[in-house]
């Protein structure tokens, strides 16, 4: 059976970013359908991350990551407070383990200042010991505006707002084809054994790891506007037993990621990760999210650089997530790619590629930008 619905906007993907965009469009009075191929929202990268509200320290000056993280962080704290979403402004320590990392600390301070993050405090070895007695570090930084958020509660609240403003979430809905019509797009969608056709003026591709695959379905989109996809897996290990830390703890960053760091969850539990493991191939359907049984042995020496008391026996394999990268391991980190008609020439279409960290923190600011581009 085939039904035809006409709507103002369709958002493909119900992760944190897709839900934030749907909310923004619905609150602007646009009838919005959210299509999600899985049985529930937020089952992919949005529930496989560190749940850290980043301050905006690391990203190159003027980049989308820098601007949207700083803006998104403010919006996210306000949203969590006004919607009763679990979050805690714990603060984070960035620690240098070796004396020759002082230059990197200096660089981070400068990068943060360039991005408008002016609340970082430089810490001596003694000050670090006073905050977190079990840490070993030569010096470090304290970021008071870094925190954690319950990402599931956050997505539920976004969906609540979106549905309250008239948006419809269609679960188990896989987009099969996207044709152009005179005024926009016609999507063929498989849903519970049936086929549905949806016509819309505004089309948002917020499909995370699948954004390149979805873009490949869009009739008339020049392939030059679809970047390559590289997959970089990040695994976590969980700490069994007593957690001695009250703050998030990060080493100075490593290529491809922020280093194996300590994050705390809303219940006070501790996990370490993610590492950076570049996967073969670029098919998201082939991802194996299993964490290697040997992960505790691999992670323990990395963690021991800043927490000497750790041992592999205190750690168990946790969960993993995969970063949707648009550049490979040998290239410098790429920026978010949020591309509207000004870039690719197709009216009403916005593609989002490479929405890795800090995508969760930035989601409300990304949503505002996408709503503007689509209009």
Ligand X SMILES: Cc1cc2nc3c(=O)[nH]c(=O)nc-3n(C[C@H](O)[C@H](O)[C@H](O)COP(=O)(O)OP(=O)(O)OC[C@H]3O[C@@H](n4cnc5c(N)ncnc54)[C@H](O)[C@@H]3O)c2cc1C
DSSP code, position 241: S
Residue number, 187 or 346, with CB nearest to ligand X: 187
Binding-site ranges for ligand X (CB under 6 A): 12-18, 35-38, 43-46, 48-52, 54, 173-175, 206-210, 214, 234, 274, 321-323, 355-361
Residue number, 101 or 205, with CB nearest to ligand X: 205
DSSP string computed for 155-199: HHHHHHHHHHTT-EEEETEEEEEEEE-SSSEEEEEEETTEEEEEE
Shortest Å distance, C-beta 101 to ligand X: 22
**What is the enclosing helix (H) or strand (E) of 318?**
strand 315-325
Tell me the sheet residues that pair with 299. Answer: none
Shortest Å distance, C-beta 93 to ligand X: 16
| Tokens linked to 51 | 């749940």
Shortest Å distance, C-beta 208 to ligand X: 2
| Residue 77, helix vs strand vs coil | helix
> How are beta strands 230-239 and 270-273 bridged, if at all?
antiparallel
Shortest Å distance, C-beta 66 to ligand X: 13
Residue nearest to ligand X (CB): 359
Shortest Å distance, C-beta 82 to ligand X: 19
Shortest Å distance, C-beta 231 to ligand X: 10
CA atoms of 249 and 231, how far apart (whole Å): 25
CA atoms of 107 and 111, how far apart (whole Å): 6
| Tokens linked to 138 | 């030569």
Residue number, 251 or 358, with CB nearest to ligand X: 358
CA atoms of 170 and 35, how far apart (whole Å): 5
| Residue 372, helix vs strand vs coil | helix
Residue number, 234 or 296, with CB nearest to ligand X: 234
Residue number, 23 or 37, with CB nearest to ligand X: 37
Query: Quick one: which of 216, 228, 307 has its CA closest to 261?
Result: 307
Residue number, 34 or 139, with CB nearest to ligand X: 34
Shortest Å distance, C-beta 235 to ligand X: 8
Residue number, 28 or 171, with CB nearest to ligand X: 171
| Tokens linked to 287 | 């991802």
- Cα-flanking dihedrals φ and ψ of residue 333, to 5°? -50, 140
């Amino acid at each position: 059976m085939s039904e035809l619905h006409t709507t103002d906007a369709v958002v493909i993907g119900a992760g944190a970013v897709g839900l934030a965009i749907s909310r923004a469009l619905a609150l602007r009075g646009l009838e919005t359908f959210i299509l999600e191929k899985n049985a529930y929202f937020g089952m992919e990268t949005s529930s496989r991350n560190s749940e850290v509200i980043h301050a905006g320290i690391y990203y190159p000056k003027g980049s989308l990551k820098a601007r949207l993280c700083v803006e998104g962080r403010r919006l996210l704290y306000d949203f969590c407070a006004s919607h009763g979403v679990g979050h805690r402004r714990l603060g984070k320590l960035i620690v240098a383990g070796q004396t020759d990392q002082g230059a990197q600390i200096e660089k981070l301070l400068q990068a943060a200042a360039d991005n408008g993050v002016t609340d970082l405090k430089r810490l001596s070895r003694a000050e670090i010991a006073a905050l977190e007695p079990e840490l070993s570090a030569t010096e470090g930084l304290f970021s008071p505006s870094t925190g954690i958020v319950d990402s599931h509660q956050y997505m539920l609240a976004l969906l609540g707002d979106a549905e309250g403003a008239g948006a419809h979430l269609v679960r188990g809905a896989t987009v099969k084809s996207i044709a152009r019509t005179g005024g926009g797009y016609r999507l063929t969608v498989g849903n519970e054994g049936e086929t549905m056709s949806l016509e819309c003026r505004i089309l948002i591709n917020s499909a995370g790891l699948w954004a390149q695959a979805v873009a490949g379905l869009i009739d008339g989109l020049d392939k030059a506007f679809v970047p390559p996809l590289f997959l970089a897996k990040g695994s976590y290990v969980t700490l069994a037993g007593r957690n001695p830390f009250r703050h998030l703890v990060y080493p100075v960053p490593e290529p491809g990621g922020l280093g194996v760091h300590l994050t705390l969850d809303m219940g006070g539990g501790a996990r370490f990760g993610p590492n950076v493991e570049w996967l073969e191939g670029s098919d998201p359907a082939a991802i194996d999210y299993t964490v290697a049984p040997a992960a505790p042995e691999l992670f323990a020496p990395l963690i021991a650089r800043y927490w000497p008391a750790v041992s592999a026996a205190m750690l168990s394999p946790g969960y993993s997530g995969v970063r949707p990268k648009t550049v490979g391991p040998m290239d410098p980190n790429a920026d978010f790619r949020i591309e509207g008609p000004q870039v690719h020439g197709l009216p009403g279409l916005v593609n989002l590629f490479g929405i890795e960290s800090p995508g969760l923190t930035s989601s409300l600011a990304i949503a505002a930008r996408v709503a503007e581009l689509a209009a």
